[in-house]
Amino acid sequence: MIQNVCDSDFGSVIKNRNQELLDSFGSHLRKLRKHRGMSQEELAYEADIPISQVGRIERGEINVTISTLYLIAKAMNMELKDLVNFR
């Protein structure tokens, strides 16, 4: 079978041009969450977003939007600027 280099499902092959940013934000968020003793489920509930979304963000799989960042910050009782203060 011929391999398709431009396969549309990508599979850990092609990454976002800002993958490092997403990875490091994900790690940062996970650290903040655990430091507060929250589970992904608790954070998701407080932020009113799906739990699957929290997991995807922490694993650096998605490029989170400012409105989701805001909901997460509020759920963790912190300011947006502190949530994105990493690296």
Sites of contact with a second copy (CB under 8 A) = 16-18, 21-22, 25, 63-67, 69-71, 79-82, 84-85
In this structure, are residues 53 and 68 in contact, taking their beta carbons and an 8 Å threshold?
yes
Q: Does 50 bind DNA (CB under 7 A)?
A: yes
In this structure, are residues 31 and 25 in contact, taking their beta carbons and an 8 Å threshold?
no
Report what 25 binds from a second copy, DNA, none; CB cut-off 5-8 Å by kind. a second copy
Distance from C-alpha of 17 to C-alpha of 75, rounded to nearest angstrom: 29
Kindly state the smallest distance separating residue 2's Cβ from a second copy, in Å.
Answer: 32
